[in-house]
Amino acid sequence: MTTKLKFLVDVGVGKKVEKWLADNDHDVKCIRDINPKADDSEILHLAVTEGRMVITMDKDFGELVYNSGKLHSGVLILRLEDADGNQKVKVMKKILTEYSDKLYGKFCVFQGERLRIKS
């Protein structure tokens, strides 16, 4: 891939993932640093404005994208409710190693060791 993905990380994902992305030279902004109380629509709008993929634990983004038709630059929902920060980092590393060229502009859900990518 010639260009790196840019990410907007939702608060629930956690600081370890935020730090890992930054430490591994990804262009990352964190909602906790911008406005931790931003609602999902605001997060999507900021992501589209800056061409960033949202990384979130919040399945409500599926509602916004599919049922409300909100524009997005890509959404990655991590269904890892019981995972700690280290487990989330391991999953992100796997996803970016195996699928980074397929993620931009897509709606993706990681659950049960599997990544589903929808157009």
pLDDT by residue (tens digit) across 50-86?
999 999 999 999 888 887 888 899 999 999 989 999 9
Q: How high is the pLDDT of residue 2? A: 40
Backbone angles phi, psi at 47, to 5 degrees: -60, -45
Q: Which two tokens stand for residue 102?
A: 């397929």
CA angle 59, 60, 62 (to 5 degrees): 75
Fold for the domain defined by 6-111: Rossmann fold (3.40.50)
CB of 76 closer than 8 Å to CB of 53:
yes
